[in-house]
Amino acid sequence: MTNLIRIGENRAIAVALIISFSFLAATPRVEASLVTTDVIYQAEYGSGDMAAVGRVLENKVVSQRLADLGYTKTQINERLARLTVEERHQLATQIEALTPGGEVLGAIVTILIIAILVVVLLKLVDKKIIIR
């Protein structure tokens, strides 16, 4: 009788091991290596910087001014492709600093949201605002 119990226990252990090893075999293989600073910098800033530069180049005034100076779109794209990640980030930062009205618009929206919240809160507590 004890032999039958041991055989049953051994089978249960064998089935549990087979299931666990099959899960281990199904996991994907992962490889790791050292990542250079350029790769990290590109991943962090690269796509956003190129999008910012692209938005500015799509502006009619900017593209017309560059055309007046004698630059073609291919020359501009070649020059942008030669920029390092740091230079592209610096260019995008300078472009964002030149964007007119960026800070003013944000301040106006913030003030409007605060005013709306104050009015909603006063309505919730049944207070009335009387302007004469």
Query: What is the distance between the alpha carbons of residues 132 and 117, in angstroms, rounded to a whole number?
Result: 22
Residue spans of the domains in the chain: they are 33-124
pTM above 0.85, yes or no: no
What pLDDT does residue 102 have?
58
Query: What is the distance between the alpha carbons of residues 10 and 4, in angstroms, rounded to a whole number?
Result: 10
Q: Are 66 and 76 in contact (CB under 8 A)?
A: yes
Query: What is the distance between the alpha carbons of residues 48 and 37, in angstroms, rounded to a whole number?
Result: 17
pLDDT tens for the chain, 132 residues long, are 455 456 667 787 888 888 877 777 666 677 777 767 766 666 666 667 777 777 778 878 888 888 888 888 888 888 888 888 788 888 888 877 776 655 677 778 888 888 888 888 888 887 776 777
CA 48, 54, 55: angle at the middle one, nearest 5?
90
What pLDDT does residue 108 have?
83
Query: What is the distance between the alpha carbons of residues 56 and 65, in angstroms, rounded to a whole number?
Result: 12
